[in-house]
Amino acid sequence: MLIKAPKGTRDILPDEIHRWHYVEDKFSDICSRFGFQEIRIPLFEHTELFQRGVGDTTDIVQKEMYTFNDKGGRSITLRPEGTAGVVRSYIENGMASWPQPVKLFYNITAYRYENVQKGRYREFHQLGVELFGSPEADADVEVISLLYLFLESIGIRELSLNLNSIGCPSCRADYNKTLKAFIEPRLNRLCEDCIDRYQRNPLRILDCKEQGCINELKDVPYLLDYICSDCADHFEKVKEKLYAMGIPFTIDKKIVRGLDYYTRTVFEFVSKNIGSQGTVCGGGRYDGLIESCGGSPTPGIGFALGIERLLLEMDSQGIDVPLPSSPDIFIGVIGYKANLFAENLALKLRSDGITCHKDIMGRSVKAQMKYANKLNARLVVVIGDDEVESGKAELKDMSSGEVRMINIDTLLDRLKKFKQVNS
Ligand code: HAM
């Protein structure tokens, strides 16, 4: 029986990989311009990291993690996101002693056992940044403007970020009382998970996806209206600076984010064009996370973008991605001696940066030409015993149809010139 890829995973095939490279390269380019450096973290971590970091009352930790015991009996989890792993690395590698702020970016796969639908997978890809060490609104603005510039650079139009502040633990404790008072008379109409959340972490109720709970909560008081004056000042500064930089944003008091570590500024980029899984990017400040993972108190802020959702959004906006360039040359061969000669020639061209295909199927010349056409090769040269003998061969420009007799010795120079003119 054919073994298929597990549900919620997919192969990224050669005919679409250029779109992935395009966004990944743009992202690392923009991150570098902002002075962010790449970090690579393990695909799996100790389960406790996510329980502590992401929060054990979140959907991710309660329902969605791929957790197993390894052969040494340790509980291991495939990363459901990147922030917790990067924070672990910050602490473990003593990055607190590096010049601050520490600015990191990553390109990772992540794993969540979710109901699969358009834009929601069990293995997905995130581009993200994390900035450690600055509590200032300037850090929020740096991260948000990086996101903005990246989305703009890949051609996303009508770009507006949704922004909120969810305060700090002390203003949230006050809000929790108000929230509990609002929820109490409605509690028996909420789902079982929310009843549990009411005891353990009432804020998570605002994140429930059950329609019944959403209906019950439609008049819920907003956390933004309850934040303390320090948090409100911080948020005012973020808004003022974004406004002064001409970065468009909308205040969305409903954003609470689905992970426990957030404090103060939270933000999302939501698309209306790609269906119910429209949140392309989410992020925010997490000033208590490093401490709760065992480090000394250090502020942090970051975001992650889902590459699959970003590509869906680019499709829906009709954004063209440059196609990969065609092979520079196809070398056709006739006969054993010519084949040996062509193999050497191909190696020389390739070592000099030319994209070169040659027949390795033992096809007839006619079939080789058909294949060269399918490859969309820009130039074709056919080498047989006569060509090896005379050192001359016909070079055909496949777009103009023009054929020229050339010295094979001059092929490399000609190809380099041809590339310059046609690139
Ligand atoms: P998140 O909102 O859970 O945040 O995920 C960020 C993005 O990952 C989402 O906006 C979405 O594009 C993508 N994503 C999440 N789950 C799936 C899925 N099942 N299928 C496809 N795409 C998905 C975080 O992960 C935080 N670590 C972001 C962050 C970084 N906050 C601060 N720093």
Q: Where are the beta strands (DSSP E) in 67-218?
A: 67-69, 75-78, 102-111, 123-132, 161-165
Residue pair 326/38 in contact (Cβ under 8 Å)? The answer is: no
Q: Whose CA is nearest to atom 17 of ligand 1?
A: 120
pLDDT of residue 239: 98
As a whole-number percent, the residues of the chain with pLDDT over 70 amount to: 100
Q: List pocket residues of ligand 1, CB cut-off 6 Å.
A: 81-83, 112, 114, 119-121, 124, 126, 128, 130, 258-259, 279-284, 302-306, 308-309
CA of 241 to the centre of ligand 1 (A): 26
CA of 296 to the centre of ligand 1 (A): 26
pLDDT of residue 156: 94
CA of 39 to the centre of ligand 1 (A): 18
pTM, full prediction: 0.94
Angstrom distance (rounded) from CA 388 to CA 108: 50
Rounded to an integer, the average pLDDT of 213-227 is: 93
Residue 41: both structure tokens together: 């973290």
CA of 346 to the centre of ligand 1 (A): 45
pLDDT bucket at 166, cuts 50 / 70 / 90 = very high
Q: Is 129 a residue whose pLDDT tops 90? A: yes
Task: Give Cα 218 to chain centroid, integer Å.
Answer: 32
As a whole-number percent, the residues of the chain with pLDDT over 90 amount to: 84
Tens digits of per-residue pLDDT, 323-356? 988 999 999 999 999 999 999 999 999 999 999 9
**Which residue of 259, 267, 311, 312 sits with most ligand 1 atoms within 8 Å of its CB, as the best mutation to test the pocket?**
259
Domains of the chain from N-terminus onward: 17-168+227-316 (3.30.930.10), 329-422 (3.40.50.800)
* Ligand 1 atom nearest residue 83's Cα: 27
Tens digits of per-residue pLDDT, 243-261? 999 999 999 998 988 888 9
